[in-house]
Each structure stands twice: as structure tokens, then as C-alpha cells.
Amino acid sequence: DHRALRVRAFAASIGAQAVPFDAADDPFFNINTPDDLRRARERAPT
């Protein structure tokens, strides 16, 4: 896809770098159910 290539070229031109995330901890975890809320509370720092 040519749009994806343009985005990559732009990112490279401004010096953007990939930031690794711990695969075990999803930084975009959504809370949609009571079970999700329970899991979020278990994962939250105290």
C-alpha cells in the first residue's frame, strides 16, 4: 500500500523510532465488562 510507505518515509524523515512494549501488558487495555474491570484492578499498580 503506497500510503503505508509514505507514512513510513515521513516517520523516518523526522527520526521516529519504535518503542517496544511488554507483550504481557497491553497499554491499550479496554474495560468493557465486569470481568475486564476485575482484571484491570488486578494489574493496576498499588
Whole domain around residue 46: which residue ranges?
20-46
Structural domains counted in the chain: 1
Residue type, 37: L
Phi and psi torsions of 30, nearest 5°: -100, 140
Residue 22 or 43, more confident: 43
Domain for residue 13, yes or no? no
Domain for residue 3, yes or no? no
Going by pLDDT thresholds of 50, 70 and 90, the confidence category of residue 27 is confident
Going by pLDDT thresholds of 50, 70 and 90, the confidence category of residue 43 is confident
Average pLDDT over residues 15-41: 88
**DSSP single-letter state for residue 22:** -
User: Which pLDDT value is given to residue 10?
Assistant: 94
User: Which pLDDT value is given to residue 5?
Assistant: 85
pLDDT of 18 > 80? The answer is yes
Domain for residue 7, yes or no? no
Domain for residue 15, yes or no? no
Domain for residue 4, yes or no? no
